[in-house]
Amino acid sequence: MTSLSLDTARVSARAARGVGRVVLERPEALNALDIAMVRGIRAALETWREDPGIERIVLEGAGERGFCAGGDVRVLAGAITSGDPEGAGLFFREEYALNATIAEYPKPIVALADGVTMGGGIGLAGHAAVRVVTERSALAMPETRIGFIPDVGGTHLLARAPGRLGEYLALTGATMSAADAIHAGFADLLVPSDRLGAMHEALESRAEPAAGAREVVMLFGEPPEPADLARQRPWIDAAFGADDVPAILHALRERTEPEASAAAALIETLSPAALTVTLASVRAAREKPDLRATLEREYALAMWFAHTQPDMPEGVRARLIDKDGAPRWSPRSLAEVPDGLAEVALSYRPAVPLWT
């Protein structure tokens, strides 16, 4: 089985010297995921699961610009606007199943979040056993910027970030550097990009077969610089611990830090419905026992948005298709968000369950 060679659906998989190497091969789109890519990654992992000749997996993206920019949201938005929300649901089910597979895989998966790693890219890299970033890394869960919610197990990570960083990162979609990602719990080790080739060779070396994947990667790592997020914790924790989004905005406006003012200005441009549900989702994730439980709740919320809310297709239109930067959110303001909207969203039960 170690001779597996797979090139399909913009994913390549190779097995050599005890290492299964999966590469996302869509660099022109920053390796954005479509359903065929999700299936290709999972097929490779399932092939190697019981293979005694494979000791560890490396998951990476082609090109130097990004590991994975997320799911192909244009396709998902198109399914929703064409009256086929269950088409989006099929993608969500398969993507989230892959996220769980990565988290529960019996062999160590080394994920190289080199470059842009956002949304669905976090779902691939963020749940791996060894999560590597480089000086080129830029990580984010930017779903509120297109009128959607953090998913792919993102709220599992956000809920466990120090202090109120989870609320801050979820509501603003702020981008993390390598140091920030390590501080927030989205990554483990910083490896300079010029050492990745040598790291690959070491992972494939049989000179020390007993060495764990993390120990091998650590040989090429270096300490990150102080995280900017750590410096900003005082105002983030003070403001983003407020009870609801309007209260968070009020707290931000009361702060003197320019970053707090910028965060308030940004939040005011985003989908009121997505912000409201996102805040509740991150806080609910703190009560979930594991990733699977969180994925199940995220799936229900994703399907609630797909079936009942217009903001995700509208956000994709305004940000990515027409690029006019003028989304017409519904409701238009936080003041118009119906009472109990988050509770309605959290109680939604999709017709097709995530786990079958």
For the chain, domains (ranges, CATH) are 5-346 (3.90.226.10)
Taking residues 67-73, what's their average pLDDT? 95
Looking at residue 213, its pLDDT comes to 93
Q: Is the peptide bond before 108 cis (omega within 30 degrees of 0)?
A: no
The band of 356, judged by pLDDT with boundaries at 50, 70 and 90, is confident
Query: Which two three-digit tokens encode residue 62?
Result: 């082609």
Taking residues 138-164, what's their average pLDDT? 98
pTM above 0.85, yes or no: yes
Say if CB 233 and CB 183 are below 8 A apart. no
Looking at residue 1, its pLDDT comes to 41
Cβ atoms within 10 A of the Cβ of 234, count?
A: 11
Residue 190 DSSP label:
E
Looking at residue 205, its pLDDT comes to 83
> Can you say whether residue 290 is alpha, beta or left, with left for phi > 0 and alpha for psi between -120 and 50 degrees?
beta
The pLDDT tens digits of the residues spanning 277-321 come to 999 999 999 999 999 999 999 999 999 999 999 999 999 999 999
What percentage of residues in the chain have a pLDDT greater than 90? 94
The pLDDT tens digits of the residues spanning 243-260 come to 999 999 999 999 999 999
The band of 266, judged by pLDDT with boundaries at 50, 70 and 90, is very high
Cβ atoms within 10 A of the Cβ of 283, count?
A: 16
Phi, psi angle pair for 223, to nearest 5°: -65, 140
Give CA angle at 189 (60, 200), nearest 5°: 45
SS3 151: coil
Taking residues 140-151, what's their average pLDDT? 98
Q: How far apart are the first and last CA of the chain?
A: 29
The pLDDT tens digits of the residues spanning 184-229 come to 999 999 999 999 999 999 998 865 555 699 999 999 999 999 999 9
SS3 258: helix
Taking residues 339-348, what's their average pLDDT? 98
Looking at residue 6, its pLDDT comes to 56
Query: Which of these ranges, 63-67, 119-123, 160-164, has the smallest mean pLDDT?
Result: 63-67
Say if CB 140 and CB 266 are below 8 A apart. no
**Burial (Cβ within 10 Å: 0-12, 13-18, ≥19) of residue 74:** middle
Looking at residue 208, its pLDDT comes to 55
Looking at residue 64, its pLDDT comes to 87
Taking residues 321-350, what's their average pLDDT? 97
Looking at residue 2, its pLDDT comes to 46
Taking residues 158-181, what's their average pLDDT? 99
Query: Which two three-digit tokens encode residue 351?
Result: 């017709």
Q: Which residues are catalytic?
A: 71, 120, 143, 151
Strand partners, 139: 117, 176
Say if CB 107 and CB 56 are below 8 A apart. yes
Say if CB 133 and CB 113 are below 8 A apart. yes
Say if CB 45 and CB 105 are below 8 A apart. yes
Q: What is the dihedral of CA 343, 291, 130, 19, to 10 degrees?
A: -130
Looking at residue 159, its pLDDT comes to 98
Query: Which of these ranges, 212-216, 270-274, 340-344, has the smallest mean pLDDT?
Result: 212-216
* pLDDT of 138 higher than 80: yes
Q: What is the CA radius of gyration of the chain?
A: 20
Say if CB 16 and CB 204 are below 8 A apart. yes
Mean pLDDT computed over every residue of the chain:
95
Residues 6+ apart with CB under 8 A from 301: 149, 151, 277, 281, 345, 346, 348
Residues 6+ apart with CB under 8 A from 140: 117, 118, 119, 122, 169, 173, 174, 175, 176
The pLDDT tens digits of the residues spanning 12-41 come to 999 999 999 999 999 999 999 999 999 999
Say if CB 132 and CB 111 are below 8 A apart. yes
